[in-house]
Chain A
Amino acid sequence: DIQMTQSPSSLSASVGDRVTITCQASQDISNYLNWYQQKPGKAPKLLIYDASNLETGVPSRFSGSGSGTDYSFTISSLQPEDIATYYCQQYDNLPRLTFGPGTKVDIK
């Protein structure tokens, strides 16, 4: 089974800061990686698919990159509405999925 590690588990940054979250797979997942944002009481919202493609309607301050086993997610200028928990998810061996443990983002 593919395992996903994600770091950091939490972070606190100022409005306008650049924030980066990393996700590492236990094997090559060929860019089959999604990034989600989840706010309390809400279902996860897709932000990035196929590692680097911005979902329609998502602000351009969100971006993703990476390949093989190593991926990253960046918020170029943190906004107050970005307070949430962010998850990576691999889908290289469907119908099996794996989520990262999540990164909680707060405003300093």
Chain B
Amino acid sequence: EVQLVESGGGLVQPGRSLRLSCAASGFTFDDYAMHWVRQAPGKGLEWVSGISWNSGRIAYADSVKGRFTISRDNAKNSLYLQMNSLRAEDTALYYCAKLSPVSWGQGTMVTVSS
């Protein structure tokens, strides 16, 4: 069974940093591109960042470019999102996801507030 389990969320002050992790199991992790998608409270889904299977292609939403860094460790079947210079508008539930076939984690909540 495919499982994606996010961790690392929490309450953080504006301007501070946080690192999210996604532990993958049940599939060959290094065969797939991986993504981070977020959803602010009461809002729609927003793609944040994606990384190819070998980290050779990486993309970011304009809203996080220059502040967030996606990475992966295929030996550890893990995906990461380093979030720096956090803002109130980064408050959201952050999901780890893969496509083809599609799987999503249950998300980890990030709250940016003083």
A contact set with B: CB distance below 8 Å = 1, 34, 36, 38, 43-44, 46, 49, 55, 85, 87, 89, 91, 94-102
Contacts and interface: CB of A to CB of B under 8 A. Distances in A.
A99 B44 contact: yes
Interface stretch (B19-27, B51-59, B83-91): B51-59
A98 B104 CA distance: 16
B44 A97 contact: no
A43 B38 CA distance: 11
Interface residues of B, number: 23
Interface string B18-36: 0000000000000001010
A55 B100 CA distance: 11
Q: Is the interface of A mostly helix, strand, loop or mixed?
A: strand
B105 A95 contact: no
Q: Looking at A1, A34, A99, which has the most chain B CB atoms within 10 Å of its CB?
A: A99
A24 B67 CA distance: 30
Given A44-B45, A102-B44, A95 B58 contact: yes
Contacts of B100: 49
B50 A95 contact: yes
Nearest to A50: B100
Given A94-B57, A94-B99, A97-B35, 9 more contacts: A43-B104, A43-B106, A49-B100, A94-B50, A96-B50, A97-B47, A99-B37, A99-B44, A101-B44
